[in-house]
Structure 1
């Protein structure tokens, strides 16, 4: 196949290969462009995927910008490499499919190159099987979701493909059954979009936590915990669809030892959309910590809860992440214990929080996922509480909404406030009923007791 293979370059009257250290999709895209495959997705291949070359290894640590026209322009470490061998040569597969208009490289409107033009796909009858084949063909691990109503904007020009029918095992969307003639009965309103991910969490209990695996060369491999910290964990959670801004992610010590390792480490700032937007370094085989030695596998716990539509990040509609979608909660049965679990999950506030009227914030959209939530107070997040799945008896006018308070709590009955990074008590000098009412109201408690005479006050 002329559109894939080991990458070789001609320099100083001699053909040579490229070391796969730092090799990524941007480099692959430049190779495809320089070979005349403009706009094709360059899927990077590693570890001499297409067989070992011979002779010189001319380049390593290539780092291309999106507008480069030749891989030689991406040289970062000079030529004639000594720290790499023919087991670590770079390859690329030029795929006539691209994702357009997404906020990261793993999502967007699907466009296919056929008959010398780029066209969209009619989304009618598309399913998860088509999404999985599409994501795998572009070098990603799994499809997070597929959208058939132009979520990433409407394309233009002809719609050349409809009625795609994949089994899920095909190597390319173009290998699936389909009608590939100019489509007359479909509009760009139904252009297919997809969200892919190269990360998954392996765990037998919850979908929001587990051992981190990444898709590499057609297989899932464990990611070593070297250089793995909160920033990397947040980015991993964001790439899986969790809200990284509220995903206070911490490892939870499964202590899994692995040999089949994903040979890359990442250095993230925390704001990136996926791990490959972070600074990353491909570790050559049989050097450093990527060898036959075992390593501890990276772990992460994402937070499947967020607040939306509030005037600050401490308030809003309560939304939960289930089955790869965000949705709201019906307020039937919701009480102060449930609110406390939400605020503690997101901000570590053991007591501060109150339920507010759903009308205080804009109504949610999409699915209402839960109802009849009943927490005991010991859960780590609201999805661990007893609940029922949503039925048709609730509307978005009854979405649960809360406000979380960061600077006041009750500790064994004593009022404490958070000032200058520490908790402290409140002196009783000048304390009166008005102060008590405000304190209780801010804690979401409508009444209080005067402990001196046990009199119940409004």
Structure 2
């Protein structure tokens, strides 16, 4: 998947337009950005330039695959307030000491939508949308599962488990942006659904809408123990596995926390919970342990690997769930 605007684009994020390798257009040619000094302030500028509210992660080491052609920028130093990446400090166009193995990438805050107040679980919360430079909530009038499906898919989850109202995840603040939302369930974003118009409503924050999404990650093959199993992730409409190259406890911590567990006890490889089938989605996963989801971690790019299912990664999570887990199967 590629998203492009105003001389900048994200490439290699597959079906997900809000993440990818950063490429800039200069002197009639697209080229990449080197990851020397690459950080979240730089990523914020890129994401805002592309129309997103901001960035969730700044990635290096060609996390979304190696580009080709010129490496246009190196030693990018943004303070986060610049309008475009070219307004930031850098070594000069085409001046670098990098290879395409150092290509920089970003994960942007998706499509101006977020879930707030879900506690330990990032896949649930009060729905908030970004409009006119400000975050606001959605009213629960007419709020249902079709609407929740659109929200969850927009956030990269397979779909929704529940649509909640009456400020189930706490009352928001600021504007109530949407009311009488009517989705048929197939729209790409909540703003594509019918609604009363931005900011037109007869609600209070006690009517704030929420969702519980299918997490997009699951543990399979752990037998009667739901807190362990082969790691499978949902991407491009299909479940697939994770290769055990570079797989370690920091990566397992992110998986377990994404599933709602406190953390991980062990990171396992060599198909310890049996061989999966279908695509191998992730390889060379490198998390520092603080990421919200495994997709926020560094990796080779979706579907790029040199593995077989005999190398499927698994985890054993610490038990003690803040909520019942329904994303594990035997």
Selected match of 2:312 from 297, 312, 316: 297
Offset of 1:297 from its aligned partner? 1.1
Q: How does 1:83-122 map to 2 (within 5 A)?
A: 83-84=100-101, 95-99=111-115, 109-114=126-131, 118-122=135-139
Question: What is the DSSP-based 3-state SS (H/G/I as helix, E as strand, rest coil) of the residue aligned with 2:137?
Answer: strand
Question: What is the DSSP-based 3-state SS (H/G/I as helix, E as strand, rest coil) of the residue aligned with 1:178?
Answer: coil
Preserved CA contact (<8 Å) 1:17 1:56: yes
Q: Does 1:56 align with 2:70?
A: yes
Q: How does 1:7-406 map to 2 (within 5 A)?
A: 7-10=22-25, 13=27, 15-18=29-32, 29-35=44-50, 37=51, 39=53, 55-58=69-72, 70-71=84-85, 73=88, 79=96, 81-84=98-101, 95-99=111-115, 109-114=126-131, 118-141=135-158, 143=160, 147-148=164-165, 149=167, 151-157=169-175, 159-180=176-197, 182-194=199-211, 197-203=215-221, 207-217=226-236, 219-244=238-263, 248-249=265-266, 251=268, 253-256=272-275, 260-269=280-289, 273-275=292-294, 280-283=297-300, 290-291=305-306, 296-302=311-317, 305=320, 321-323=324-326
Preserved CA contact (<8 Å) 1:107 1:195: yes
Offset of 1:265 from its aligned partner? 0.6
**Separation in 2 of the partners of 1:298 and 1:151?**
33
Structure 1 pair 56/198, CA: closer, same or farther in 2 (3 Å)? farther
Preserved CA contact (<8 Å) 1:130 1:166: yes
Offset of 1:187 from its aligned partner? 0.9
Preserved CA contact (<8 Å) 2:265 2:318: yes
Offset of 1:122 from its aligned partner? 0.7
Any gaps of 5 or more consecutive residues in structure 1? 307-318, 325-458
Question: What is the DSSP-based 3-state SS (H/G/I as helix, E as strand, rest coil) of the residue aligned with 1:154?
Answer: coil
TM-score (norm 1): 0.49
Structure 1 pair 26/209, CA: closer, same or farther in 2 (3 Å)? farther
Preserved CA contact (<8 Å) 1:144 1:240: no
More strand by share: 1
Offset of 1:19 from its aligned partner? 6.4
**Separation in 1 of the partners of 2:161 and 2:284?**
23
Rg comparison, structure with higher value: 1
Structure 1 pair 116/213, CA: closer, same or farther in 2 (3 Å)? same
1:113-143 CA distances to partner (integer Å, 9 max, x unpaired)?
4567643211244344433322322344555
**Separation in 2 of the partners of 1:272 and 1:74?**
27
Preserved CA contact (<8 Å) 1:120 1:161: yes
Preserved CA contact (<8 Å) 1:40 1:97: no
Q: Which gives a bigger RCO, structure 1 or 2 (Cα 8 Å, sep 6+)?
A: 2
| Coordinate RMSD, CA, aligned | 5.1
Preserved CA contact (<8 Å) 1:44 1:90: yes
Preserved CA contact (<8 Å) 2:230 2:272: no
**Separation in 2 of the partners of 1:25 and 1:217?**
26
Structure 1 pair 91/98, CA: closer, same or farther in 2 (3 Å)? closer
Any gaps of 5 or more consecutive residues in structure 2? 11-21
- Count matched residues: 298
**Separation in 2 of the partners of 1:64 and 1:224?**
34
Question: What is the DSSP-based 3-state SS (H/G/I as helix, E as strand, rest coil) of the residue aligned with 2:99?
Answer: coil
